[in-house]
């Protein structure tokens, strides 16, 4: 067997499991054409950002979290971080357990979907778009997601509800 063939086989054996376990970003639309951006790994959702009547962010909480109640998650790109205040949802094998609605604005807030809200949305989307990798962290743990490679995701999220 030639040296290049052996090298190819070794690379496949070493990289194969890592490539098979790698996750993927996906932009999907529901039956009302509302977008959601998700990252799943090994068949499990790790991160979901979607909009419709509300702007929702769901993420696997890194580390140990309380069963319910308020929680803080940090999202970063290696240079900047953004603090997200949300809640812990009940444990679920597939979907993740941190959720933040409407970028932390209350439904009664007159600024919801206003100028200040749009600045916060832009900050989050800028952070996500430029991150390679995207780091999700809590006080005790963190994990990283690869650069978002779903075509058209940002424009779809920005146009939602407008």
pLDDT digits (tens, 9 = 90+) for 109-145: 999 999 999 999 999 999 999 999 999 999 999 999 9
Residue 59 lies inside a defined structural domain of this protein = yes
Quick check: 103 and 124 in contact, CB under 8 A? yes
Query: What is the count of structural domains for the chain?
Result: 1
Confidence band for 69, pLDDT divided at 50, 70 and 90: confident
pLDDT at 137: 96
Residue 10 lies inside a defined structural domain of this protein = no
Residue 63 lies inside a defined structural domain of this protein = yes
Q: For residue 97, which of 128, 124, 141, 65 has the smallest C-alpha distance? A: 65
Give the rounded distance of the alpha carbon of 13 from its chain centre: 30
Residue 14 lies inside a defined structural domain of this protein = no
Q: Which domain range does residue 72 map to?
A: 23-159
Q: For residue 130, which of 82, 79, 77, 81 has the smallest C-alpha distance? A: 77
> What global pTM score does this model have?
0.81
Residue 111 lies inside a defined structural domain of this protein = yes
């Amino acid at each position: 067997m030639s040296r290049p063939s052996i090298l190819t086989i070794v690379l496949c054996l070493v990289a194969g499991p890592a490539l098979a376990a790698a996750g993927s970003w996906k932009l999907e639309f529901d039956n009302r054409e509302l977008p959601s951006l998700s990252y799943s790994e090994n068949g499990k959702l790790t991160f979901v950002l979607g909009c419709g009547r509300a702007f929702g962010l769901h993420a696997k909480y890194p580390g140990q979290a309380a069963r319910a109640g308020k929680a803080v998650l940090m999202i970063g790109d290696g240079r900047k971080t953004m603090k997200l205040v949300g809640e812990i949802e009940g444990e679920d094998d597939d979907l993740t357990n941190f959720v933040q609605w409407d970028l932390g604005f209350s439904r009664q807030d007159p600024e919801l979907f206003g100028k200040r809200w749009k600045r916060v949305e832009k900050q989050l989307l800028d952070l996500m778009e430029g991150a390679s990798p995207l780091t999700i962290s809590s006080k005790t743990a963190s994990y990283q997601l690869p650069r978002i490679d779903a075509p058209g995701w940002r424009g779809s999220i920005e146009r939602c509800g407008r």
